[in-house]
A and B are shown apart, each in its own frame.
Chain A
Amino acid sequence: MATGTDLVGSSMISINLSYKNVVHDSIRSDMLAVSESQAWAFGDGTNEIETVWHDTRSTDNTGESLIINTGATGNGGMVDAFGNTITIGVLKMLYIKNTHATLSLVIGAVANGINLIGGTTDSILIGPGASIFWQDPVGMTLGDEDIIKIACSTAATVTYSIAMAGEDL
């Protein structure tokens, strides 16, 4: 096992849409261009991250709790690509994609859930084929609220991809 010594790169939300309507002999257009590129350096300040974790997983309607540091419930045993147990203290980026064709994912509804989700009974829905991406250059301090619970919305097994990055405790 070796501790991470560098983590650099970028994440981006990009929207480029061309919306038009025809009025008599003219065409009016509305061009929407959003390019929110976030460069990341290694460290524990703004625009900096120290740990990345990613996986492709499956879960049922009982769900699974991903414990991403040593908060109220102790370490969850999640390891990065180098075998280090992750302890993300400040979350900077989270990506979840529901890769199932027909089933929905439920994110949240757990005690000590990350503060991206409002309360312990609150949850986000991600439909079949849908994805959610959140980025924050300053980050969300986790404290005891360090659990991402992921479940299938019905009694079946759903597949998903997940990636997250942030500062270590």
Chain B
Amino acid sequence: MANAGTDLVGVTAIKINLTAKAAIDLSTTKDVLTIDESNSWTFGHAANGMEMLFHDQISVTTDGVTINVRTGATGRVDGFGNAAALDYLKFLYIKNTHATSTLMIGGTANTIPILSGDTDTLDLPPGASLLIQAPSNAGIDVSTGVTLFLDASAGTILADVAYGGDDSTA
């Protein structure tokens, strides 16, 4: 195995800035929505801590692709060649880059607990993207539910996938 990562720092964020307006006789009222949910990450196991980062652009067909988040098998390695093996998932980003096909997440045994059950699925329509942030110490526990399963409604989807969390080998 390559040398384990020794540092992982940075920020993930969800930002929403919307201004809605409505005209009422002599004035225009506004509703300004500002959400900035930025999570700063440091290296380690604690809340807002991560030790392992994985990212890839994955081809997904109607046969589906299985990613074992717990072990990194098979061939899911970090930027340094280490198996991307996590105890706790702290963030997950997935983007469906296909123009017409839907990307389905979940629906297999031992699904990671972003879904309630093994048969449950979450759908990302064409062009849609998803970010889940779980900065607490426990994050999303992937000790039992280890599988991130991706499936295409049709054709071959290129899915952008990135996730990070606590290194299970550390």
Which of A's residues lie within 8 Å of B, judged by CB? 2-23, 28, 30, 32, 34, 36, 40, 49, 51-52, 54, 80-82, 84, 93, 95, 97, 106, 108-109, 115-119, 121-140, 161, 163, 165
Contact = CB atoms under 8 A, between A and B. Distances in A.
B37 A131 contact: yes
A90 to B, nearest CB: 11
* Interface size bracket, B side: 35 or more
Contacts of A97: 37
Question: Which of A19, A28, A106, A119 has most B Cβ within 10 Å?
Answer: A19
B3 A109 contact: no
Contact of A52 (B2, B33, B115): B33
A131 B14 contact: yes
B65 interface: no
Given A132-B130, A136-B125, A137-B127, A123 B116 contact: yes
Given A32-B53, A116-B122, A17 B33 contact: no
Contacts of B125: 136, 138-140
Contacts of A16: 10-12
Contacts of B129: 13, 36, 134-136
A18 B24 contact: no
Contacts of A137: 127
Contacts of A28: 79-80
A2 B41 contact: no
A10 B16 CA distance: 6
Contact of A131 (B104, B115, B133): B133
B95 A36 contact: yes
Contacts of B24: 2, 82
